[in-house]
Amino acid sequence: MSGGATYCDWIAVDWGTTRLRAWAMRRNQVVAEARSDNGMNSLGKSEFEGVLLDLIEPWLGVGLTPVVACGMVGARQGWTEAPYRAVPCSPLAGSGVDVDTKDTRIAVTVLPGLKQNGPADVMRGEETQMGGFLFENPGFDGVLCLPGTHTKWAEISACEVVSFRSFMTGEMFDLMSNASVLRHSVGAGWDDDAFAEAVSETLSRPESVAAKLFAIRADTLLNDISKATAAARLSGLLIGAELAATRPYWLGREIAVLGAKALSEHYIAALKLQGVTAHYAEADAMTRAGLYSVHQTLSEAAE
């Protein structure tokens, strides 16, 4: 493959806390991709440019290649700070922050996250997925759910994020699975019936979740339930509690779930138990769509 502008028009980057992903793009089509474990947490400010160049060097020629980046790369501890924008606002409206680079072959723009002053909340990276979804579904009016370590629920109206809430459900599952007494009970595999039962339990009685969580350990000791059943039950209890808290968001609304397929399917299944149909969109595709929409806007502004 040839390098430079004949190979890609621009480069899309999703730079999170623990990993870096980059895609060489021709318009909105991926022609190459690369990944790294060099997330924001492992880098000093002076290291970002070198790490990025190591990853995308094969895609660069002698001309200038635009790079549009989202995620924790724009945090205060990242490459350059891209200040949060307050909701309500369009998820990707406004300009990003241009980065001063030593290498003259790249022009890097870092996108800002979103903030909500009351109740206090922030996001970085998810706004790009939301923007990508709205870019591809401009008439959408409803709620977006973005499952992950810190799951986001966002109310969308007139192509704007009106409000949002974050839930530490994914992180709680990880901590309980690996650093609590439940680490002795939870393992690989899945049990659909156990998940559905646990979701229903905490949706009807969310105040009982702490007791239900310990019951997983007790059930393992007394009734020898499988590790797959325990894992599904733990996930169901936590997601059920989250759905109980977010009922004002999803009840009677059009819903789309943006995320990794396996985790998103659990959320979609949990919502289906409540008679709610949720549409699915893959997270990476929505991230690229959002970055492409920004690239288009920057290109038009430069003409």
Residue 59 lies in a domain: yes
* C-alpha distance from residue 44 to each of 35, 79, 106, 209 (Å): 19, 8, 20, 40
Q: Is the bond leading into 91 cis (omega within 30 degrees of zero)?
A: no
Q: What angle do CA 289, 24, 144 make, to 5 degrees?
A: 20
What DSSP string runs through 172-230? HHHHHHHHSGGGGT--S---HHHHHHHHHHHHH-GGGHHHHHHHHHHHHHHH---HHHH
144 within domain boundaries: no
Task: Name the residue among 147, 227, 240, 242 with its Cα closest to residue 197.
Answer: 240
186, amino acid identity: V
Token pair for residue 249? 């968001």
CATH number at residue 31: 3.30.420.300
Residue that finishes a domain, picked among 92, 124, 156: 124
Query: Residue 183's closest CA among 238, 221, 231, 232?
Result: 231
Among 241, 235, 245, CA closest to 266 = 235
Position 6 scores a pLDDT of 45
The answer as to whether 40 is a domain residue is: yes
Q: What is the pLDDT along the chain (303 residues), one digit of tens a residue?
A: 333 444 799 999 999 999 999 999 999 999 999 999 999 999 999 999 999 999 999 999 889 999 999 999 999 999 999 999 999 999 998 779 999 999 999 999 999 999 999 999 999 999 999 999 999 999 999 999 999 999 999 999 999 999 999 999 999 999 999 999 999 999 999 999 999 999 999 999 999 999 999 999 999 999 999 999 999 999 999 999 999 999 999 999 999 999 999 999 999 999 999 999 999 999 999 999 999 999 999 988 877
Domains: count for the chain: 2
Strands 142-146 and 255-259, bridge-based pairing: parallel
Task: Name which of 73, 93, 32 is nearest 294 in CA terms.
Answer: 93
Query: Considering the entire predicted model, what is its pTM?
Result: 0.93
The residue range of the domain holding 83 is 4-124
Asked if 33 and 100 sit in the same domain, the reply is yes
- Geometric angle at alpha carbon 114, from 23 and 292, rounded to 5°: 25
Tens-digit pLDDT profile for residues 240-282: 999 999 999 999 999 999 999 999 999 999 999 999 999 999 9
Which DSSP string corresponds to 256-282?
Answer: EEEE-HHHHHHHHHHHHTTT--EEEEE
175 and 113 housed in the same domain: no
Q: Determine, yes or no, domain membership for 23.
A: yes
Give domain status of residue 135, yes or no. Answer: no
Q: Is residue 157 part of a domain?
A: no
33 contact partners, CB below 8 Å, separation of at least 6: 21, 22, 23, 24
Beta bridge partners of 13: 22, 69
Tens of pLDDT, residues 11-21: 999 999 999 99
